[in-house]
Amino acid sequence: MRYTRDYESQVGNARFEGYCVDLLERISKELDFEYELYLVPDGKYGDKDSDDKSWNGMVREIVNGVSVLKFSEHVARSNDSFGYVG
């Protein structure tokens, strides 16, 4: 995921591009859900501080309730068949 060349003139999800953005858009249409993309303020994925044991990055956003991940029962069930062959 990265900013588009003209991201400063864009708003919302239109500010981003890339394979993951395209994939998320396609999945959201198939499963009928909405989402909002943004970069976390510190720009990190998430690492645990060895001194105070706190998280940073995306993990901190989730732990602190800033970012919320919600999945429907259908998406969360592990016994659904998603086209596995073999």
Number of domains in the chain: 2
Residue 16, φ and ψ in degrees, nearest 5: -120, 155
Domain that holds residue 60: 40-76
| 33 and 15 assigned to the same domain | yes
The whole-angstrom separation of Cα 60 and Cα 83 is: 34
Q: Give the global pTM.
A: 0.59
| 6 and 16 assigned to the same domain | yes
* pLDDT single digits (tens) 15-57: 999 999 999 999 999 998 888 888 888 888 888 988 998 898 8
| 49 and 19 assigned to the same domain | no
pLDDT above 90 for 84: no
71, HSE (Cβ side, Cα atoms, 13 Å):
7
Name the DSSP letter for residue 3: E
Q: At 83, list the tokens.
A: 């086209």
At residue 70 the predicted structure's pLDDT band, cuts being 50, 70 and 90, is: low
